[in-house]
A and B are shown apart, each in its own frame.
Chain A
């Protein structure tokens, strides 16, 4: 019983022994334990998400038929414009493929869209993450880009059996390369401090001196496509401020991100596909 006597005498010593034991524990054990704890509580997250969906369903059932008819009419108009865009997209893809063959370029990385409902949003000052309702069961890979109608959402950071965790671009530890629309010089983008009761923010660094951005003259920031993770041209946000950095060689600035990031309910994961497979398709 010497341990019992020591632990009763000094709680800090007990804590020290626990810390030492924890540090000596093999990483494999910790990894398995972490995954087990997550999977153990995943049904709770999924059940809460399904209940929310049910609430929305019954709320929508309460809408009048006139509202539904109007919504259907608006949707038909949007569909018509998207169909036109799909046709133009097909033509452009064929042109790209023809040029790739002509110039003997390696083909661009292709993706399929995997739509997923957001099961949980976790936006703290320490991190900004969401949990989506698709995981290994839908072949979601770690590192896959996640997008929505407003642009980039983030990157898949963890994949579990039926869920995946996405780190948002507003997260302070998220960093990726971007370019100002119409420019080719890369800029470093990083998630910023997201103030309370305000839209999410990011910061840019290593911005060329000749790029001017202000609230009156904002600049659209898009993905650079370097590194092969994010396809080029996806919206990251809008640069609303650019000042000379302390080194005097570059500018640094502030990026306003899409305010809808805070209320996401559905996102799309860009799952890379083998070059020989079919072009972008949407799965239900």
Chain B
């Protein structure tokens, strides 16, 4: 449970950072979507239930700030978590390059999934891709640059939590 709480706090940090980034980019009509960062670490390193809880919680957090049916992000993130969890034994998950590739592919899938959900209700779905493709490129570039840092931060905080718990247990 300690690991889950630590990761939930990092999810809030990530959400706030992305919100600030998008606030700053709004003048250029550019939007960065970083959904994969909410999902990848829990799916690669946590247990099935713990990871699912963290991913779904992050999804609901994103849902609360988006004009989509509540649960859309949650279900997409949960689906991404379950698929990644199943494939994680076949991925060299401690290699930074592999981590970046996993983040990029997951983000691509989540972006397309969310776009399909949105375009179902959009008045002119055809023209929307002219805007969505530059957003996707911006998102992938940002994630390629920042994914290792964020995954490293999550890993470091989880390890610190483990050490703190071990020291506390030793003292008791």
Interface residues of A (CB under 8 A from B): 7-8, 11-12, 14-15, 18-19, 22, 30-31, 33-35, 37-38, 41, 44-45, 48, 120-127, 129, 157, 167, 172-173, 190, 192-198, 200, 203, 262-263
Compute how far the CA of A200 lies from the CA of B15 in the bound complex, rounded to whole angstroms.
25
**Which of B34-42, B71-79, B100-108 forms part of the interface with chain A?**
B71-79
Does A173 contact B61, Cβ atoms closer than 8 Å?
no
B32–chain A nearest beta-carbon distance, Å: 9
Q: Is the interface of B mostly helix, strand, loop or mixed?
A: helix
Compute how far the CA of A129 lies from the CA of B71 in the bound complex, rounded to whole angstroms.
19
Compute how far the CA of A167 lies from the CA of B66 in the bound complex, rounded to whole angstroms.
11
Does B29 contact A196, Cβ atoms closer than 8 Å?
yes
Does A262 contact B19, Cβ atoms closer than 8 Å?
no
**Which of B89-97, B124-132, B151-159, B161-169 forms part of the interface with chain A?**
B124-132
Does B115 contact A126, Cβ atoms closer than 8 Å?
yes
Residues of B in contact with A, size category: 35 or more
Does A193 contact B130, Cβ atoms closer than 8 Å?
yes
Q: Inside 8 A of B20's CB, which chain A residues have their CB? A: 48
Compute how far the CA of A8 lies from the CA of B85 in the bound complex, rounded to whole angstroms.
10
Compute how far the CA of A120 lies from the CA of B24 in the bound complex, rounded to whole angstroms.
9
Residue from the list B75, B85, B134 in contact with A11, Cβ < 8 A: B85
Residue from the list B16, B27, B124 in contact with A263, Cβ < 8 A: B27
B155–chain A nearest beta-carbon distance, Å: 23
Does A41 contact B12, Cβ atoms closer than 8 Å?
yes
Residue from the list B12, B23, B131 in contact with A125, Cβ < 8 A: B131
Compute how far the CA of A167 lies from the CA of B15 in the bound complex, rounded to whole angstroms.
20
Which of A12, A14, A126, A198 has the most chain B CB within a 10 Å cutoff? A126
Residue B10 at the chain A interface, CB threshold 8 Å: no
> Nearest 9 A-B pairs (CB), nearest first?
A37-B64, A11-B82, A124-B31, A125-B131, A121-B26, A196-B134, A123-B26, A126-B118, A38-B64
Residue B30 at the chain A interface, CB threshold 8 Å: yes
With A122-B26, A125-B128, A196-B30 as given contacts, are A33 and B75 in contact (CB-CB < 8 Å)? Answer: no
With A11-B82, A15-B82 as given contacts, are A48 and B19 in contact (CB-CB < 8 Å)? Answer: yes
Residue from the list B23, B75, B132 in contact with A22, Cβ < 8 A: B75
